[in-house]
């Protein structure tokens, strides 16, 4: 597999993740759950 092939894969993956997080941030209820889970993990 060539480097350019891998690069295209990464760009698509990051784009997908970015869209996912943007959508998540648009829902305050889900955002509250995420922050709650993150704080919960920090306590361990």
CA pair distance 18, 37, nearest whole angstrom: 20
Say if CB 39 and CB 31 are below 8 A apart. no
CA 12 to chain centre: 13
pLDDT, tens only, 1-44: 677 999 999 999 999 999 988 887 777 666 677 777 777 776 65
CA 21 to chain centre: 5
Please give the C-alpha separations between residue 30 and each of 6, 13, 21, 33, 37, in angstroms, as whole numbers. 32, 22, 11, 5, 11
């Amino acid at each position: 597999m060539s480097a350019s092939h891998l690069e295209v894969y990464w760009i698509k993956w990051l784009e997908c993740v970015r869209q996912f997080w943007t959508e998540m941030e648009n829902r305050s209820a889900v955002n509250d759950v995420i922050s709650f889970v993150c704080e919960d993990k920090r306590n361990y």
